[in-house]
A and B are shown apart, each in its own frame.
Chain A
């Protein structure tokens, strides 16, 4: 939008310039005589407006183009040459015409006037551009505010140009001379300090040196050939004395400016290389500090480090040697094969046995060069340590093929740079670590989510059973599973299982186990057969290291019996008459054995249920809960608490147990899932002898 507007503005300015030129043209043709002072002043004002219009147009145009100094200099050179040719050819070509006009009686010769008008306009355009180019060059890379100096000069140049009108009366000639001299002094003052030279590269400086001397000579030639008697001078004086003066002042400006430019460039050449290098170092470091935050791929980072190291030390090749499990490995090789890099690294290891560097060191490879089989000659190398937490993790190598030794400046640059590189590499490592950690945490979140969905959302509401269950997941999901199966009006099944291992893999096995028990409980009425079948099914998916401990119970509601089988799980506790009985029928964990041995050793226990019988299922998360001294909560304490509370409701019992476990382990982190299921058979409350209990799903989340 802004760009479009400025374009419109430029167009408007150009149109304005065209219009003023046309007005000027008609003015010149219809009022050719400049004898009257008033007319002369109008003429000068018109020329001035025309020049100003053109200058403003050019100013905006240059602003958009954002030209570099060298192309400005080239443009000045071309225009100066153009003016030079005009002046040189004006004498023989236009000189005759003007001579001819003098002899003709007709006051104005159309052709001559037309040619001289075009000629003048071209000169006006060229000089305007040159002047504007000077302005651009002047403001280039200026740190201080120098507007005042330049504007003062512009004012005096304009005054000096317009005061040419006064030369007809010799009394006022001193005014013109004064303005002229002041202008020249200001030009000299403004030409002394040319700051932009420092910012161009050496190659450009050499071109500039050559250009500036030629352009300076051109300006001097133009100045010399534009003498009072020359045709060019006559035409311009005829067109506008101010323009003639403006041209003269500008030619002087050019001669002075380019002479100064020539000498400044000449003095800059010897230090150009050092300056170039400093500039490159600065830009490299800037580039790199940006990289520290951006590059998070280790390989990319290493390549970039190597590349920049090569640049800042003006080396031909570079690589990084990284310590990987006590072996040195070359990575990020830049302009050097890994064979050569390894040969040089090997040589360094021989000569410097400890390789503990405090900063960049340089080595002469000439001797090694002769006896080794390096495919390319390297004469000097630099080694900088890459340190992390005061430990050297690797080295940054750069190598030169030529005979230039590394100097102190190279050392400083490489020292600084290798510090940056170390930080960047460390960042990259930290980033990778946090990425892995994040992934693990995501995985655990997923595992917990799976587990949450697998476990029953609420406990069954049963007329003869008062059920309570508590599940507290560990940070690393453990793989505990429990479930209830209301098979039909006479059969109620329940299962508790613990999958070996942790995390997402345990969660997936758990999901499978749920599926197995859910389907088997529908068709098989024997806990033992269910477990045998489950073991068979699990053979297909479990790997050798994984197994599942499980206990399955089936309550016959009509006959009031309980059948239990146990595959490697913690015993099922039966609280009856103030005693705790460990129901521990023999059985191997699921997935530990797939031969008939499994079925042969599996037992099924059958008991008749009595009123107030309490069946307690749990996983080792409870008995193996640890306190700060790493002591187990243990079976004894567990049974003691259960017995103390065996008269209470299922919820009250489980609440009490969990509270005690929490108190016991205090702030010691929970390492395994905790699962506790309490089933109470036909509870009779003491106070009124009525069955009265509440069923509620209690699931604590941590």
Chain B
């Protein structure tokens, strides 16, 4: 089917994962790898940017479930941002907004991390 790719960028302590294309059962392992790499490097604060993601299937959603606990245990989080309506609808139906922080823009999500970091201090 259609292609899927990820790329990561660091903004301070926060890692941003950009998703592009179709995230389903066949392409999910690519995203799993990206998360595993971040955990290996000890980076637990991540923002996932959905701006260029066209579609996400249930297996794609499962990837976030697999890593969220690990991130939160280490005082990190997975925050989601920049979803189009269609992708948001899928997350919304499943009740993800009740479990994840979803922001309109990437900056909002990053700032949220910085704020909570400052609060700790």
Give me the interface of A with B, judged by CB distance under 8 Å: 476, 498-502, 544-547, 549, 567-571, 586-589, 592-593, 597, 601, 620, 624, 630, 632, 671-672
Q: Supply 20 further A-B pairs (C-beta < 8 A) apart from A545-B62, A569-B93, A588-B94.
A: A499-B58, A500-B58, A500-B61, A500-B62, A501-B62, A544-B69, A545-B63, A547-B94, A549-B94, A568-B93, A586-B95, A586-B98, A587-B95, A588-B99, A592-B65, A592-B99, A597-B98, A601-B95, A671-B1, A671-B24
Max chain B C-beta neighbours (<10 A), residue from A500, A571, A586, A587? A500
Q: Which 9 A-B pairs have the closest CB atoms?
A: A588-B95, A500-B58, A545-B62, A568-B94, A589-B94, A545-B66, A568-B95, A544-B66, A601-B98
Give me the interface of B with A, judged by CB distance under 8 Å: 1-2, 24-25, 54-55, 57-59, 61-63, 65-66, 69, 86, 90, 93-96, 98-99
Q: List 8 A-B contacts (CB under 8 A).
A: A502-B25, A545-B59, A545-B66, A568-B93, A588-B94, A589-B94, A620-B90, A671-B1
Tell me, in angstroms, the Cα distance from A8 to B25 when the chains sit together.
Answer: 74
**Would you call B58 and A547 a contact (CB within 8 A)?**
yes
Using A544-B65, A545-B65, A545-B66 as known contacts, say yes or no to A592 and B95 having CB atoms under 8 A apart. Answer: yes
A545, closest chain B residue (CB): B62
Residues of B with C-beta under 8 A to A672: 57
Using A547-B65, A593-B99 as known contacts, say yes or no to A501 and B93 having CB atoms under 8 A apart. Answer: no
Residues of B with C-beta under 8 A to A586: 95, 98
A478, closest chain B residue (CB): B58
B25, closest chain A residue (CB): A502
Tell me, in angstroms, the Cα distance from A549 to B93 when the chains sit together.
Answer: 9
**Would you call A592 and B59 a contact (CB within 8 A)?**
no
**Would you call B61 and A501 a contact (CB within 8 A)?**
no
Shortest Cβ gap from A583 to chain B (Å): 13
**Would you call B66 and A570 a contact (CB within 8 A)?**
no
Using A544-B66, A545-B65 as known contacts, say yes or no to A498 and B58 having CB atoms under 8 A apart. Answer: yes
**Would you call B25 and A501 a contact (CB within 8 A)?**
yes
Residues of A with C-beta under 8 A to B90: 620
B1, closest chain A residue (CB): A671
Q: Which of A501, A571, A587, A593 contacts B59 (CB 8 A)?
A: A501
A635, closest chain B residue (CB): B89
Shortest Cβ gap from A354 to chain B (Å): 31
Residues of A with C-beta under 8 A to B95: 567-568, 586-589, 592-593, 601
**Would you call A502 and B59 a contact (CB within 8 A)?**
yes
Residues of A with C-beta under 8 A to B59: 500-502, 545
Tell me, in angstroms, the Cα distance from A586 to B57 when the chains sit together.
Answer: 21
A591, closest chain B residue (CB): B65
Tell me, in angstroms, the Cα distance from A499 to B59 when the chains sit together.
Answer: 10
Shortest Cβ gap from B99 to chain A (Å): 6
Residues of B with C-beta under 8 A to A632: 86
Residues of B with C-beta under 8 A to A592: 65, 94-96, 99
Using A545-B62, A588-B98, A601-B98 as known contacts, say yes or no to A570 and B93 having CB atoms under 8 A apart. Answer: yes
Tell me, in angstroms, the Cα distance from A672 to B90 when the chains sit together.
Answer: 15
Shortest Cβ gap from B20 to chain A (Å): 15
Tell me, in angstroms, the Cα distance from A671 to B24 when the chains sit together.
Answer: 10
Shortest Cβ gap from A597 to chain B (Å): 7
A543, closest chain B residue (CB): B66
Shortest Cβ gap from A114 to chain B (Å): 99
Tell me, in angstroms, the Cα distance from A476 to B57 when the chains sit together.
Answer: 14
Shortest Cβ gap from B81 to chain A (Å): 20
A500, closest chain B residue (CB): B58
Tell me, in angstroms, the Cα distance from A592 to B59 when the chains sit together.
Answer: 13
Tell me, in angstroms, the Cα distance from A546 to B57 when the chains sit together.
Answer: 12
Shortest Cβ gap from A549 to chain B (Å): 6
B24, closest chain A residue (CB): A671
Shortest Cβ gap from B55 to chain A (Å): 8
Residues of A with C-beta under 8 A to B57: 672
Shortest Cβ gap from A479 to chain B (Å): 8
Residues of B with C-beta under 8 A to A545: 59, 62-63, 65-66
A542, closest chain B residue (CB): B65
Shortest Cβ gap from A367 to chain B (Å): 45
A632, closest chain B residue (CB): B86
Tell me, in angstroms, the Cα distance from A58 to B15 when the chains sit together.
Answer: 94
Shortest Cβ gap from A440 to chain B (Å): 13
Tell me, in angstroms, the Cα distance from A74 to B112 when the chains sit together.
Answer: 101
**Would you call A547 and B98 a contact (CB within 8 A)?**
no
Tell me, in angstroms, the Cα distance from A671 to B25 when the chains sit together.
Answer: 11
Residues of A with C-beta under 8 A to B58: 498-501, 547, 549
Shortest Cβ gap from A535 to chain B (Å): 11
Shortest Cβ gap from B90 to chain A (Å): 8
Residues of A with C-beta under 8 A to B94: 547, 549, 568, 588-589, 592
Shortest Cβ gap from B113 to chain A (Å): 22
Tell me, in angstroms, the Cα distance from A547 to B55 when the chains sit together.
Answer: 18
Tell me, in angstroms, the Cα distance from A592 to B64 when the chains sit together.
Answer: 10
Residues of A with C-beta under 8 A to B65: 544-545, 547, 592
Tell me, in angstroms, the Cα distance from A624 to B98 when the chains sit together.
Answer: 23
Residues of B with C-beta under 8 A to A568: 93-95
Residues of B with C-beta under 8 A to A593: 95, 98-99
Shortest Cβ gap from A471 to chain B (Å): 18
Using A568-B93, A632-B86 as known contacts, say yes or no to A546 and B62 having CB atoms under 8 A apart. Answer: yes
Tell me, in angstroms, the Cα distance from A476 to B55 when the chains sit together.
Answer: 18
B69, closest chain A residue (CB): A544
Shortest Cβ gap from B73 to chain A (Å): 13
Residues of B with C-beta under 8 A to A601: 95, 98
Shortest Cβ gap from A321 to chain B (Å): 29
Shortest Cβ gap from A509 to chain B (Å): 11
Residues of B with C-beta under 8 A to A597: 98-99
Shortest Cβ gap from A569 to chain B (Å): 7
B61, closest chain A residue (CB): A500
Shortest Cβ gap from B66 to chain A (Å): 5
Shortest Cβ gap from B19 to chain A (Å): 17
Tell me, in angstroms, the Cα distance from A569 to B62 when the chains sit together.
Answer: 15
Tell me, in angstroms, the Cα distance from A476 to B66 when the chains sit together.
Answer: 23
Tell me, in angstroms, the Cα distance from A502 to B99 when the chains sit together.
Answer: 24
B68, closest chain A residue (CB): A544
Residues of B with C-beta under 8 A to A499: 58
Shortest Cβ gap from A478 to chain B (Å): 9
B100, closest chain A residue (CB): A592
Tell me, in angstroms, the Cα distance from A620 to B61 when the chains sit together.
Answer: 14
Tell me, in angstroms, the Cα distance from A356 to B98 when the chains sit together.
Answer: 58
Residues of B with C-beta under 8 A to A589: 94-95
Residues of B with C-beta under 8 A to A544: 62, 65-66, 69
Residues of A with C-beta under 8 A to B98: 586, 588, 593, 597, 601
Shortest Cβ gap from B24 to chain A (Å): 8
Tell me, in angstroms, the Cα distance from A620 to B87 when the chains sit together.
Answer: 13
